[in-house]
Chains A and B, each alone.
Chain A
Amino acid sequence: MIKGRWMLSVCVCLLALASTALSQQTILIRNGRIIPVVGPVIERGCLLIEKGKIAKIGEDIAAPPDAVVIEADGRSVYPGLIAPMTAIGLTGYPGAGDDLDEVGISVPQMDPFDALNPEDECIEVTRLEGVTAVLTIAGTQNVISGKSIVIYLDGDLAGDMLIKKNVAQIFNLGARQQGKYPVTLPGVMALIRDKLNQTKRYIETKKFMEKRSGFKPEDTRGEGTGEELSKPNPEYEALIPVVQGEVPALFMTNNEVMIGNAIALVKEFNLKGILYATADVLKYADQIREHKIPLIWAGTTNIPRRWEPFDHNFRAGSVLASKGALFSFDQLGWGPGNRNVRNLPVPAAHSVAHGLSEEEAIRAMTINPAKIFGVEGELGSLEVGKTANLALWSGSPVQMRSRVEKVIIKGRIIPPASIQTRLRDKFEKIVRERRSKPGSDAK
């Protein structure tokens, strides 16, 4: 049934084999319901892709002579979804080991780009469901866990996948490492304050050294120790852009006390903050908006506490939107085990069921995360000049039954294949053949 719907030119099939060549392909999507996210929906429109970018959007666009034409036939064109807080690119085959969570309580210098593996099988599985870009983070098990990158879920080499480096530094207020300082929340706060203060001091000493050329570390009596000036400190180097407010500090929290502490740190150190929360956001909705702290809301499907009504978290999205907070969805359960980033629309669906408008829900998976990570110039909406990251859906992404029928990343039509489609094809055949041979029972 799906096959018949698509009237792709034969050349697409041929070109799909040569992947890199395709990224420069001119593609015209015709007769689609276009949801730009930032403007009004075009009920029946066209979208032209040239050189990997969106070149034109309109009700009627003539196909350039070299264009691959995709007949959308009323299907919906949405910008690619953007998932926050993933491990995609760092998750190897189980048993082969993953590359998350370096040892140490504070490892801000860790950069997931250094371990990014374009062959991670999560990439294909995830993008087939319309998620075209993600934030990949270095870890969560450290109080200061490292850097994060926004990547396209396509590319032959790590460099091809990269959209933005050093997007945010991850601070996990809930991280504890057994038997090692800090094992309490006040300890975590003290550790973070100390690291940020030391970084400020480090910046001062660097300036001090620059001012006095010919200065020798041993001359610093009364002005700092020779040790701290004698060699660069990779930990503090990594935190410099954070204390200078250039790179956001992303605070992971899982209760109201941690949220309060995260907001306090943002104010105290004048940081650019991003809040990640799995609970209690409604208590802080006003403060989050007042301090312009964007929120990654990961608690929609979190089970409310005993004294909270059953829909406490399901309706949080709706309340946050009504208060004008900038928020994106994330699914609870982040970690090396989460290979289901494709389920990003699950919290969106629950939130819509409990009062959030569908438009807001879509924004919370597209333009909002793009804004939070500072890539809204490239991603998050269908606008001329932005990267052609989009998907054709049979219905709304907030409907679990909606199918993603075509995915385009950086102007490349993504082949509809993943480890799971390969398993399907292999075993569909095996089971069918065995069924046609009666008597070949389990032995």
Chain B
Amino acid sequence: MRQLSAFFLALLVFQISGGMAQDLALRGGTVLTITQGVIEHGTVLIQRGKITAIGKDIAVPAGIPVLEVHGRFVMPGIIDSHSHIGFSGDDVNEMTDPVTPQIWMKEALNPWDDSILKTLSGGVTTVKTMHGSANVIGGGNVTIKLKYGSPVEEMIVPGVRQQLKLALGENPKRVYGQKGILPSTRMGNAYILRKSFVEAREYMERWARYERNKAAGKKDLLPPKKDLLMETLKMVLEKKLAVDCHVYRADEVVWIIQFCKEFGIDIKQLSHCVDGYKVADIMSRAGVSFGGWVDWWGFKEEAYDGCPYGFKIMHDAGTNIVINSDSDDEGRYLYVNAAKVLKYNDIPEPDVLKMITINPAKSLEMEGRAGSLEVGKDGDIAVFEKHPLDSTTKCLITIIEGKVCFDYAKDSAAAKEASHD
């Protein structure tokens, strides 16, 4: 029995993974480009995984399969820049030390984890799947396309700077305070972060001195010890790695922005940033994205001031607003969460759709290849039955680089029942 199901699994994997980067045309839908307006009865042409044409009267070259999507809504694949999917074991939090930059989440990624399939059903094509928030300095996150069953290296979005996870506030305080070790206060969090990066600077200086001496032809040199923690922090200081900081309270938002400025660290996103609206102007001047939920609040002390009306304040201040799931559950319906923004705020509809597409793409520094439907970008697409901000809609098709990865017509309960009959 087990052998049999393994066989079917293998078959399924073969079907889904066998080579991405395909040709496909979607014809007749309402195309929500996100950055270039709406095209009624439009066609999107994907060739070798890239969008090659978008418009009303696009001739589809012979031999390219065509999906007729009349009456449907075609939008870029949804991007979730704070997720924890794809880890089958209990691998999210290396909660044994407050400083663990030596670990990389890609090494826990399971391409066959079911959460990837379930997330595809919500029109999601890209996620940054992350280390948890137990440690002040956690592990390296990984930004992936949801290419279920593909080798990990093929899932990772190429050419995109990855982000190291930092965490402030209650979580590291609680995890280590309970063990009776530092940090047990926000002061402790700050100290650990500063101490680590001061050490990283010294580490870099030691290596630089060694390289200088070597270049000068000095003999009998002993190279400094290689330190995996410091190697990662060095990448951060050299801007080869950006950071994402889990932070709730406004005072800590201001603090981390200052800290990153002081050390020359590129901070791209403030995650779970429930207080962000209080310092929206400061975030927007720092060029850091707000990442968070629309209406979660009060589930712990530092989340008490969560306020869904804050989106308007941030929008007015020009903050790059990103709606995240932080949950295997809500990652499947970020479009429903996005619609809630309209309940609480007078923000134009197109700007709300940006919060789950081009804005997270910017936060992940991949707006050149995803987050909108534009010629030259990846053919990552979600097709919705009704407008994505209509809460009674559903995703019908999810496409990654021209390949259909989720298809309601095949993957729904009704379709599966029919196929058994």
Contact = CB atoms under 8 A, between A and B. Distances in A.
B121 A399 contact: no
Given A303-B118, A354-B394, 13 more contacts: A301-B329, A301-B330, A310-B121, A340-B295, A353-B385, A353-B394, A400-B343, A400-B391, A401-B343, A420-B307, A421-B309, A424-B277, A442-B257
Closest 5 CB pairs of A and B: A339-B298, A400-B339, A401-B342, A424-B309, A337-B299
Contact of B297 (A339, A345, A399, A402): A339
Interface in B235-291: 254, 257-258, 277-282, 285-286
13 contacts: A94-B303, A303-B329, A310-B117, A310-B332, A337-B299, A358-B392, A398-B391, A400-B391, A401-B342, A424-B309, A427-B278, A431-B316, A432-B316
A423 B307 contact: yes
A427 B278 CA distance: 5
B121 A311 contact: yes
Contact of B391 (A129, A304, A353, A435): A353
Interface string A415-436: 0000011011001101110110
A272 interface: no
Contacts of A303: 115, 118, 328-329, 332
B96 interface: no
Contact of B413 (A91, A309, A350): A309
B389 interface: yes
B84 to A, nearest CB: 13
Nearest to B417: A309
Interface string A375-412: 00000000000000000000000111111000000000
B282 A427 contact: no
B133 to A, nearest CB: 16
B307 A424 contact: yes
Contacts of A314: 394
Interface of B: 114-115, 117-118, 121, 254, 257-258, 277-282, 285-286, 295-301, 303-310, 312-313, 316-317, 328-330, 332-333, 336-337, 339-340, 342-343, 346, 385, 389-394, 406, 411-416
A399 B339 contact: yes
Nearest to B352: A401
A122 B299 CA distance: 11
A442 B121 contact: no
Contacts of A129: 343
B172 to A, nearest CB: 18
A269 to B, nearest CB: 35
A321 interface: no
Contacts of B282: 441-442
A312 interface: yes
A311 B258 CA distance: 45
Contacts of B258: 442-443
B298 A122 contact: yes
Contacts of B304: 93-94
Interface residues of chain A: helix, strand, loop or mixed (majority): loop
A376 B213 CA distance: 85
A434 B303 CA distance: 24
B310 A424 contact: yes
B277 A431 contact: yes
Nearest to A342: B295
A343 B295 CA distance: 9
B281 A310 contact: no
Contacts of A302: 329
B110 to A, nearest CB: 12
Nearest to B254: A442
Most buried by A among B257, B391, B412: B391
A352 interface: yes
Interface residues of A, number: 56
A298 B330 CA distance: 15
A349 B279 CA distance: 33
A434 B300 CA distance: 29
A354 B305 CA distance: 34
Most buried by B among A91, A306, A309, A435: A309
B392 A398 contact: yes
B203 to A, nearest CB: 28
Contacts of B306: 420
Given A353-B393, A401-B389, A431 B280 contact: yes
B281 A434 contact: yes
B376 to A, nearest CB: 31
A180 to B, nearest CB: 22
Contacts of B339: 399-401
B254 A304 contact: no
Contacts of A337: 298-300
Contacts of A91: 298
A95 interface: yes
B63 to A, nearest CB: 31
A346 interface: yes
A141 B300 CA distance: 19
B404 to A, nearest CB: 15
Interface in A88-123: 91, 93-95, 121-122
Most buried by B among A121, A343, A401, A403: A401
Contact of A309 (B254, B296, B308, B411): B411
A307 to B, nearest CB: 9
A346 B336 contact: yes
Interface string A164-181: 000000000000000000
Given A94-B301, A301-B329, A435-B317, A340 B296 contact: yes
A343 B257 CA distance: 33
A91 B304 CA distance: 12
Given A354-B394, A403-B343, A428 B313 contact: yes
Contacts of B328: 303
A434 B343 CA distance: 27
A432 B317 CA distance: 8
Given A337-B299, A346-B336, A352 B392 contact: yes
B8 to A, nearest CB: 11
Contacts of A358: 392
A44 interface: no
A353 B396 CA distance: 11
A125 B297 CA distance: 10
Nearest to B285: A441
Contacts of A311: 121, 394, 412-413
B340 A442 contact: no
B298 A350 contact: no
B210 to A, nearest CB: 37
Contacts of A435: 281, 317
Contacts of B329: 301-303, 332
Given A94-B298, A340-B296, A431 B114 contact: no
A427 B306 CA distance: 12
A18 interface: no
Contact of A349 (B312, B346, B391): B391
A247 to B, nearest CB: 31
Given A424-B307, A424-B310, A350 B333 contact: yes
A1 interface: yes
A401 B279 contact: no
A91 B340 CA distance: 24
A94 B249 CA distance: 15
A195 interface: no
Contacts of A354: 394
A349 B281 CA distance: 34
